[in-house]
Structure 1
Amino acid sequence: MSHSYSGGRDGVVCAWDLHLDLKQHANGLSASDSKPKPATSKFRASTQAHTHWVNDIVLASNNTALVSASSDLTVKVWRPSSADTEAHTIGQHADYVKSVASPSWADWVASGGLDRKICLWDLSGKGKSLEIDVSGEDVTEKGSVYALSVGRSILASGGPESIVRLWDPKTGKRVTKFVGHTDNIRAILVSEAGDTVMTASSDQTVKVWSVTAGRCMHTLTMHNDSVWSLFSDHPELAVFYSSDRSGLLVKTDTRGAQDMDEGLSVAIAQEHNGCEVIQRFGKRHLEDVEPEVNTLEAVAPWCSIDTSSGNLTVILEPFNCFDAEMYADELTLEEPVEFREDQRINLGRWILRYLFAKLIDEEIKRDEAYRQQLNEIVEKRQAAARVDPPNSITIPTSSGWQATDSPVTTPKANGINFPMTPGLGIGAATPISHLPGVPENFPTPTSPIGKRSTQLSRPSGEDYFSSGINSVEAGAKPVTTPAAVETPTAKEEAPQLPIEGKAKEKEKDAVKSPGTAFSKKFRMGMSFGSKKSGRSASTSTEKPTVVEEKSDENKSESSSNHEKEFDDNFRGVIQKIQNEYEKQLQENPDKSVETRVTPSLPVDTPVLKLPPGTRVIIQEETSGGSANLYQGTVETVGVDADIIEEKAPMWLGEVLLTNTIPPKDPVKISFVLHPWQDTLPSIATTDGNNRLNANRMLRVKKILAYVAERIDPTYSEDDTDALKPEEYLELYCNEQLLPNTMSLATLRAHIWKGGNDVVLYYKANGRKELPKELPQPPAAEKSSVAHVEDASVGTASQFATAAIVAG
């Protein structure tokens, strides 16, 4: 049975049964034979060997193994006749692998790539046996290997240098080189005896070289385009096939000819249909065709699309995969979900949540098993406490509190004092007003916050929040009553307060109120190493400098005492969660541990049923391209949890297990609002400024609500029976009426189509009578900056709305 093998852009390697009579082919057809029937090929087997183009294949190990080279940087071996149908990686380059070659009798294969290396790999998977550096002698950048061939005792290579080099495959030393081509060498053949080398080049020629003579013997010019491939099964290369970029396939036969130049070259085939037409639109303007194939919505770039492998591949990267959002009311879902008004769905988080749904389920099971072991210890401790109750109750003391001889039983402060005026308590002191808590809840030095802060890598906002908290403390102390400052206990205890004490207490209470935006940023971006030691608020202005110097020393001591290393991968997130459990047990030994694995809920990421066979690939960027770290499917990610924990990045673990995405400032769009033909009052400030900026996802109806607040004296958000602003106001851009649900991003991309500030006009539709002039501008207009918040979403930080910018 005759077989053929192929590999293509889709990364698939296929085996075919050709049903050819090889005996008849070997003996030749007699004159009496009738015209042979055309052979019918049949698909035999295939494997998804690679995730990128297959650049070259070669049969090895007496035709029992097929070795493939790919742009996914790997060299793989596939044995179609074995029970194992998968291709296995036997080698990897630092850049695209362009060529492979192997003697049929050998147990190794040679590969060459754009990393300017030739590597010899063991076919049984034992690794690399030899590496040859083929960097260019004159121009190092041109040392890439595009062609390889192996003879009995030599290895030939070629590339952009236009030089053919011969190597000893046993030692890796160069034997000789041939110079003569003027362009990239694309294919090489070596005769069975190793005394003849044939090369094809992009200079449109095929050259024949003599190894013994060390020079070019013949130059064949039967092609008019770049020659890309060569094939011959003749031991002396007397009969060979060549093909060029135009698709022309030529057979050259030099048998019986006294000189190779007298041989016969015959064109036997040519490929014409390289591309298939999908659809024709005729002679029309591109602007007229665009609405037929593209939707009107504008979405921020959040992924990249790759079709080079023949498959539709969506690539998510951490720097932008969380940038795009869409409104929940625009979704078409199988199961209805009740959303908040104008709620937005983050596309990156939504897709990742259900690509790895099986993995999340597996991690939840493992988390439950881990917590069950910890809670069994807690239950035993609680049972023992119930059996043997204490004879007396003692109020414990802590490092932040000290008992005195005074009959007063109320604990006294240790010098950490906070403002008592109501004004300061609302804006700044609320998140940390709980610090002077009861002794039982005072944090121990085993708090996990110090460790977390030393391990997490946070953006520049970390310093912002650190300085913000310090300023709160600095502003709090001067307003404390003198009696509290002069308390002897405070003076004695302040120097003994651990440097992380305040930070731990703040973190503890911040966890209690995760719903606030401040507490979330506090936990994510807080830098605890810069906190100052507790001291009296009556300290002179010169003393903070001394305290600041001490804080650096205490910072290093705290880090050395409490720092714990976590893996910089998906497993590191699990380690942090488990470390939090252990710290909780140390602080509250009698309290059961509750889960900290908190994936996103269906209200934020509606249920998405992806095909189980959808492939999931985790890649790592290298200097030469993307290297695969993991490859599976939506169905198998749960089974492969251990592999993913080791290979996947930490940011993916934070998204899936804690529903945390990297913080990023929203992108805003500037626009100008004018009344249509001055039929309504202007919203400009007293100095005539009407320039605003808002989140690019802000909808037209929110802009109309902003206008209504300023021109409609009767407008009130609380009046549910009144007309909504979008019911009696309209917004225009470039003389087009804008839909109420259109976003600023879509408006700018498809309606405005310009780079300057978007110019918008508002007008009344007659359903409500509005004044043409206002008696006086609203008080808010006198300010240089005004904000409008989208309260329907629930948090102002989620919707950065409009702001009037003076000047």
Structure 2
Amino acid sequence: MTKQSCKSISYVIGDAAHTGSHVLPVNSIRSNGSDMLFTAGRDGALVVLDSDSNLCNHIQLHSDWCNDVVWHSGSTLVSCSSDLSVKWWDFDTNEHGLVGHHEDYVKAMCRVSSGHIVTGGLDKVVNTWDLETRSKLSSIDNTEGEMGSIYSMSSFERMVTFGDNKATISLFDTRSNEIVGRLDGHGDIVKSLVMGSNGQLLSGSSDGTVRLWDLKRLEEVKQYTFDGSIWSLYSDDVNLNKFYTGTSQGTLYETNQDLTKPLGQESSGLLSICKFQDELWSSNMGDSTMKNWNDAAKTKRGAPGLIKSRLLNNRRHVVTLSTDNEVVLWDIVKCRQLQKFGTDRAFEDVINQYQTQEILPTWCQVMIRAGQLFVVIKESNYTNTELYGDDIREYVSSRVNDDTRYTLGKMVLTSIFHRFVEYEMNKDQEIRELRMREIKGNSKLSLLTKFSSHDNTPQSSSLPTPVEESKQSYFDAVADQHHQQSLQADDHAEDAHQLEESGNKRRLKLFSRKKSTISSVSTADDERGMQEDIPEGSLPGSNETSRKPSEYDANSLGTLIVEARQFYQNATTLNSLSTSQWQPPPVEEVPLIDGLPENLHIIVNECINNSSSEVAIYSDELRNLQMTTLENVLPRWLGTYLLKNRCIVKDYSKVGFTIQPDSTSTGLPALAQGVGRLNAYSMLRVKRILAYITDRFEKPTTEMNQGLQAESWLQVLCHGKVLDNRMTLATVRSVIWKQSGDVVLTFRRRQKETKAIL
């Protein structure tokens, strides 16, 4: 049975990959035993240094803390993360992908002599993976009541030891896939393990002790006591006579033949220790520096990372604070940095300076993960926020109507994936033309067989491809098609919502929200079952290749493609093939955002077992997105919108209000049919209320006879405060009215000395 799941889209603003310096503390330092040093940081990055400690390569592989890394073979590293994933990376070719995932943070890992990878995490599970097939070989449950979370691992040959929060060390034989022994004696979490080749084991615990064990007899041999919790251990002595200990107090100790001495002190706890080229390295919890204890000149200073963010009321700007106390203002629609304020301005002061009084629903979730700014878009919220045309002019070069509302989340998603839509439109055209030739008897090719391959470009060179810049793109064609009617459309005729007057049948349309020529319907109507299963197998072309489509494709865009191709295959007339199954949103309805950064990091996330926990199943930079891989991993809800212009139609909240002449108003006609209770969508602007008022006057004023716009001579007030014409009812209710019941609005002729409330 196909597993049901939910998916979301994330993008990372700022540098998509690190410059070689970690921006958050380094959780793990490892080497290949000869000429390469590897580091994994809380910034989700992996860094490779050569024998002279110079940078060889780096990658932003994870979207959360990278907790451990092991060298597998050649130029291949494997890492585990708090983003729940286990991933591989070839630092020579830069190829990378997903091995698998846990259901909670993956805290520790090791490699056994068979080449298999063993991982353990807070889900209390030990998994064994085959890196060649990207498959899980076995799984062992370490649960004991509420305990059993795994924090440390070490291996020798095919034997693995792992420590947990039960203060227990377990011996796991990967050949028999069984727990063959347990060691008890620690009084707290076992945080670090080192196995020797002589059948002995060193363990460090939060109880402040390091213990030496005989694994053959399953007995404790010696115990060493230190000044704090043991966070890290290292030894390259096969007999474990000499080892190094890092404590939560930041002290580094050397123990040699039972003699222990401190080597130095850091400002915070030591996370990892490693000896490389006869030089001792360590990392600490306080910053992203990697210290060389033998040669200070080789110490690697880290860069600052983000630690705090605040999304402002306009739902477009975010203020962040970094580890070096620098405050920065970002635009999450442009995906760019707007202004740096240095370290002299306080985080809250900048927020207060740039905060607006707008009241808008949220269309995304903004968070700091791995020291970077993440924007997460889900099906449940991407249609929430609408902006008027005059608010989006800075983002688009196409023509927009100031009084039309545009959905911000749709604009962002369409702009990120517009090349993918062009690719699918061109591919769809080729498929329909091929089917037409079949119907005409010019070809006996099987449609579904021919297009089961996963080439990233259409097979026929006679048709346009998404990368041929000399040919008109789909979006340009749509823009040309709708341009004239867009220019000539009357504002009121295009209104999508109405201002309703209680007890009165007369209505004036006030919202200027353009309707698509393609009706938007609930995705529930479109969630039909697949008529044909997508073949199982790895995802060709993907850089996250371990998972089979059968595990998650029921919720993927690929099911829409199968349904469309099945429709074409079943078609028996040329007329039924003349129209594409794809009808993307037109540019006049969803303008493209100009100049998104090509290195913008795009991530596709999937929930695990319908829980709130997510794992990244695909990630790449905007310029490198793989089209056929996206077919398999993008969520169905996104495909339904991008390719069919269908989404969940939401019933936006309304605001009840009344309109009456202000007590200072003179010389204005009375309102026809008196004053009634009105009800309008919360995004209605004061400007449109002015139009409603003039429409209801019993007779025209001098200004109306002169053809003047209402906003040039009339003004609306609430609680005696003049309202800005761009203010919405939602803002008026929350910022000015501030009480229950219908909002009371008054109007009068504009007074020059009066300043409007913004």
TM-score by length of 1: 0.61
| Structure 1 residues 102 and 741, CA gap change in structure 2 (3 angstroms) | same
> How far did 1:120 drift?
2.3
Distance 1:212 1:580 in 2: 66
Q: What amino acid sits opposite 2:596 in the alignment?
A: L
For the pair 1:317 / 2:378, whether they are aligned, the reply is yes
Match for residue 682 of structure 2? 696
Distance 2:751 2:564 in 1: 57
| Structure 1 residues 521 and 110, CA gap change in structure 2 (3 angstroms) | closer
- 3-state secondary structure, aligned to 1:635: helix
Match for residue 150 of structure 1? 155
- 3-state secondary structure, aligned to 2:641: helix
Deviation sequence 1:637-686 (CA, Å, 0-9, x none):
4xx33222222222212211122222221122345656544757999999
For the pair 1:232 / 2:216, whether they are aligned, the reply is no
Distance 1:337 1:73 in 2: 41
Deviation sequence 1:447-490 (CA, Å, 0-9, x none):
xxxxxxxxxxxxxxxxxxxxxxxxxxxxxxxxxxxxxxxxxxxx
Which residues of 2 match residues 662-701 of structure 1 at below 5 A? 662-671=648-657, 676-677=662-663, 679=665, 692-701=678-687
For the pair 1:764 / 2:748, whether they are aligned, the reply is yes
> How far did 1:99 drift?
0.5
Distance 1:690 1:334 in 2: 40
- 3-state secondary structure, aligned to 2:378: coil
- Work out which of the two has the higher radius of gyration on C-alpha atoms and give 1 or 2: 1
Match for residue 546 of structure 1? none
Task: Select 1:101's aligned residue among 107, 110, 134.
Answer: 110
> How far did 1:77 drift?
3.4
> How far did 1:158 drift?
1.7
Q: What amino acid sits opposite 2:210 in the alignment?
A: V
Give ranges in structure 1 of 5+ residues lacking alignment.
20-40, 382-514, 528-558, 769-807
Match for residue 547 of structure 1? none
For the pair 1:620 / 2:606, whether they are aligned, the reply is yes
| Structure 1 residues 77 and 683, CA gap change in structure 2 (3 angstroms) | farther
Distance 2:748 2:630 in 1: 58
Match for residue 600 of structure 1? 585
Match for residue 454 of structure 1? none
Q: What amino acid sits opposite 1:756 in the alignment?
A: S
Distance 1:47 1:372 in 2: 43
> 2:116, 2:129 within 8 Å by CA — same for their partners in 1?
yes
Distance 2:159 2:657 in 1: 70
Deviation sequence 1:297-322 (CA, Å, 0-9, x none):
33311111233123332211111111
> How far did 1:54 drift?
0.9
Which residues of 2 match residues 634-653 of structure 1 at below 5 A? 634-637=622-625, 640-653=626-639
Match for residue 16 of structure 1? 49
Identical-residue share of aligned pairs (%)? 26
Distance 2:585 2:263 in 1: 66
| Structure 1 residues 282 and 111, CA gap change in structure 2 (3 angstroms) | closer
Distance 1:519 1:154 in 2: 62
Task: Select 1:300's aligned residue among 354, 361, 366.
Answer: 361
Task: Select 2:620's aligned residue among 610, 632, 646.
Answer: 632
Which has the higher relative contact order, 1 or 2, with Cα contacts under 8 A spaced 6 or more apart?
2
| Structure 1 residues 730 and 160, CA gap change in structure 2 (3 angstroms) | farther
Deviation sequence 1:165-212 (CA, Å, 0-9, x none):
2223322332332334343322222232122332222x4443444445
Distance 2:596 2:343 in 1: 37
> 2:531, 2:563 within 8 Å by CA — same for their partners in 1?
no
Task: Select 1:265's aligned residue among 257, 262, 267.
Answer: 262
> 1:683, 1:690 within 8 Å by CA — same for their partners in 2?
no
| Structure 1 residues 577 and 174, CA gap change in structure 2 (3 angstroms) | closer
- 3-state secondary structure, aligned to 2:430: helix
Greater fraction helix: 1
Distance 1:172 1:190 in 2: 19
| Structure 1 residues 718 and 678, CA gap change in structure 2 (3 angstroms) | closer
Match for residue 93 of structure 2? 84
> How far did 1:700 drift?
1.5
Match for residue 349 of structure 1? 410
Deviation sequence 1:85-141 (CA, Å, 0-9, x none):
3234444333322101225x55222211222221222344463344322112xx1x3
> How far did 1:763 drift?
3.6
Q: What amino acid sits opposite 1:177 in the alignment?
A: R
For the pair 1:574 / 2:561, whether they are aligned, the reply is yes
Task: Select 2:253's aligned residue among 251, 254, 258.
Answer: 251
Match for residue 726 of structure 1? 711
- 3-state secondary structure, aligned to 1:307: strand
Match for residue 170 of structure 1? 175
Distance 2:102 2:672 in 1: 64
- 3-state secondary structure, aligned to 1:146: strand
> How far did 1:268 drift?
4.2
> 1:200, 1:230 within 8 Å by CA — same for their partners in 2?
no
> 1:47, 1:87 within 8 Å by CA — same for their partners in 2?
no
> 1:358, 1:635 within 8 Å by CA — same for their partners in 2?
no
Task: Select 2:226's aligned residue among 216, 219, 222.
Answer: 222
Q: What amino acid sits opposite 1:158 in the alignment?
A: G
| Structure 1 residues 10 and 670, CA gap change in structure 2 (3 angstroms) | farther
Q: How many residues matched? A: 559
Which residues of 2 match residues 160-199 of structure 1 at below 5 A? 160-199=165-204
- Root-mean-square deviation over aligned CA pairs: 4.1
Task: Select 2:80's aligned residue among 66, 69, 91.
Answer: 69
Distance 2:349 2:648 in 1: 40
> 2:531, 2:566 within 8 Å by CA — same for their partners in 1?
no
> 1:374, 1:593 within 8 Å by CA — same for their partners in 2?
no
- 3-state secondary structure, aligned to 1:644: helix
- 3-state secondary structure, aligned to 2:591: coil
> 1:727, 1:767 within 8 Å by CA — same for their partners in 2?
no
> How far did 1:254 drift?
3.3
Task: Select 1:738's aligned residue among 723, 729, 734.
Answer: 723
Greater fraction strand: 2
Give ranges in structure 2 of 5+ residues lacking alignment.
1-33, 269-285, 289-322, 328-340, 443-513, 535-553, 753-758
| Structure 1 residues 684 and 175, CA gap change in structure 2 (3 angstroms) | farther
- Relative to structure 2, which stretch is displaced further, 342-351 or 270-279? 270-279
Task: Select 2:63's aligned residue among 24, 37, 51.
Answer: 51
> 1:142, 1:160 within 8 Å by CA — same for their partners in 2?
yes
Distance 1:18 1:612 in 2: 33
> 1:358, 1:634 within 8 Å by CA — same for their partners in 2?
no
For the pair 1:116 / 2:124, whether they are aligned, the reply is yes
> How far did 1:156 drift?
1.7
TM-score by length of 2: 0.64
Q: What amino acid sits opposite 2:558 in the alignment?
A: R
Q: What amino acid sits opposite 1:92 in the alignment?
A: H
Deviation sequence 1:300-353 (CA, Å, 0-9, x none):
111112331233322111111111111111223476433345111111111111
| Structure 1 residues 273 and 635, CA gap change in structure 2 (3 angstroms) | closer
Q: What amino acid sits opposite 2:254 in the alignment?
A: T
Q: What amino acid sits opposite 1:44 in the alignment?
A: C
| Structure 1 residues 635 and 715, CA gap change in structure 2 (3 angstroms) | farther
| Structure 1 residues 759 and 291, CA gap change in structure 2 (3 angstroms) | farther
Q: What amino acid sits opposite 2:615 in the alignment?
A: A
For the pair 1:328 / 2:339, whether they are aligned, the reply is no
| Structure 1 residues 297 and 766, CA gap change in structure 2 (3 angstroms) | closer
Q: What amino acid sits opposite 1:6 in the alignment?
A: T
Deviation sequence 1:421-471 (CA, Å, 0-9, x none):
xxxxxxxxxxxxxxxxxxxxxxxxxxxxxxxxxxxxxxxxxxxxxxxxxxx
| Structure 1 residues 656 and 232, CA gap change in structure 2 (3 angstroms) | same
Q: What amino acid sits opposite 1:270 in the alignment?
A: S
Distance 2:343 2:372 in 1: 28
Match for residue 389 of structure 1? none
> 2:39, 2:46 within 8 Å by CA — same for their partners in 1?
yes
For the pair 1:131 / 2:139, whether they are aligned, the reply is yes
